[in-house]
Structure 1
């Protein structure tokens, strides 16, 4: 307790270092990383400093830094930059060692070994000078696909992993694959080859050659597409939608379930084309034409054929801040009125605009928002 005693005087300026640390039982402080280097990977909030501390602890490395990167599908993954003491540290070594202590989503999908970490003039690590990771085969040369099955597999792997070329001896996970991409792979294999592949087999048959051999001997199963349901006045809701609806009814004026986004646009904006683009999205996806109602004491959803969406356009007045305009834009939705989406544009100057959109969580989620933005 003597270490937690407050050494600061009331009223004096306090500086926060931004370092992440923890007290140890012996009274020492263990440095874990930086508070300003948090990142979200596959829906999990990660402190990269914690991953760095495990790399230093479990592998023979002198220095390391873990940096978030974006793959070809705009998904975030972790890349470890390592300065080793003696022998080279491979991605296989990294996955094998860290897999004993960390969950899979915290293990870097790429590793780059450097002689030294680049530094800025003031001695900090120069993140901008770190090279982009590139896949290099470890201990084997590239072997091209040898038959039609392996060629189809290569096309699927290259599309999912964003890596080219893929050889038959390459490992799915050493090419940057993870459990989420493995799930995508299962769907593609089912559609392409009419087989049902359990997730555990993706982890067992990790090389393309092993996976192709498994597919050759797997029993064929006709893939079943989800059929369109017959048109109805009302449709049932999911348990998640029911829960959101109940909470929203308890706080009808609340915005806890709003999902707003703001994007600054540079240059001239054609409002007519912008509105047509949003209207096309509403026309294409039923979620944006859905409203929610109580019928015979049961919550149901109704999908409308046509829903008009118009952009709320305004010019920024000198006396009103952009923050205030954004705050006023985010307001409660009435769940019985479609669309549960609104769009606004604030013009600051001829070449500076703010595009704002807000949607309710009962019709959308984080993955949907990413697709919407794309």
Structure 2
């Protein structure tokens, strides 16, 4: 890193010397060096100020719902939402949201009132979000897949008095005191309300939503996002073309802030929003949805982007804009995308929830040099980025510092956490200027000579997994609560191929009855699935550095041995079972998979499940929705399901070109491993 920094600094000096050579004296080199240093410092200050000059005209005094109502006036009959075989116009969406908003107001919803929303992806979900804002409230997305303990904390921390949900999800919620509104069961009462727009006293400084992220203290923290942050993200911005000609895909959970971009980037600009079905779609299904609806703009996490580029890149060919991020993008995958998908702008997006989804973006155009990293780009419109040293002074171009954010996207702070808000959202004056509010990201970065920013990792123990920001300390604290665990360390490891995975290193108490399976079950009751480690490594003791700290560099990589499971190993019996076991073993890096081994106990994640469905289609010629792997989550049950599926088709269809498909799939994998 030091060599690269020195090289960049030298390049900057060469440019400055070339520019100011005529004014340098030939008789006093010491004086010239002093003058050049001052010139360089002055020049850099000007450049840094110029790169942060991002102000644009946008409707900064308008709220989210007000801008939606303006769009309804412009294009009342345009299609707003598409969900499976249903679609509704902007006018119809506005009327439904108005009816629900009035109903919410009768229950006391108004300014700064938090309303929970626990609804699967659907038209009703968008109606609910819009209605909460129209009533003057702020929404709190609640994922029904979260463990009861985490849901209970969120409901208690927000103290929501009203909760929007669906009839079939009520049983998944912990006990609470909120009034429940089921948008399916209670709609007859809701639609008795007036359909006209409401008038409230809400301003752009009022709360729009509270979204929870992982917390270093062991409890999640609620980020309080205001209307202005969302409006600055999607109106008159410069990182993407957001027009009424676009077709967005709503794929992200509403508890993940990519959904802010998908939903409001679409509806505040007159575009069409295609809502993905609630279950996790297979790559085949995702490709069909993109092609059927001619989706033009899409957000993908880095992990899903890499997987689609590997397995289903043709599905992306209808796109005009693809935003990917949430983690570092792989250069080979980006190269393959640029070479294969024409007429689509690939954009690397970076930003914490605390600055409303995106802070910096980088449009990737030219082929990348070998060994290059992909910058996170420049601050988007109405956003400023500073790279500071420990004294909160700006570092020179090419020097490494901590990335701080300012501008109209900043959240208000953390719900019920004044201490953490004061620590992370600081007031600072540059020179004699008036104080600026800065968000301290904990990310290391540097400015490149062209004004783009290079992300260099985290200062602390925070990582990104499948787009979600995770504090490893939160997982370690939950593991430490297990009575059989004496010590533990959690790492996020990136294999040469495949997605980043969480690995837990465990030292159990002596004479305890510790098993990995018991610990995994314990964690599944306390953490979301994306925070449960996919691999567990048993150690007699932790390796230590000379000063007695855990030496993370000496922790061993997970072995390919089958993990400890409650059920005994039973080998696959049939050809189909053996083929499925080989596919699972290859993808999960496990030497042997028994027919009763649960895929998720073996370490499967949502991304690896998509890989399994893609591999089954390639090698066996069977199209398998990803949701079936959640229903049939062992080799034995999946093989029986596939056998029934096969038997329901003509015999020639079952056996058609299986050997050819297997040979082609293996050749593709060989080529991928060789970088072809």
Q: TM-score, normalising length from structure 2?
A: 0.27
More helix by share: 2
Higher RCO (CA-CA < 8 Å; seq separation 6+)? 2
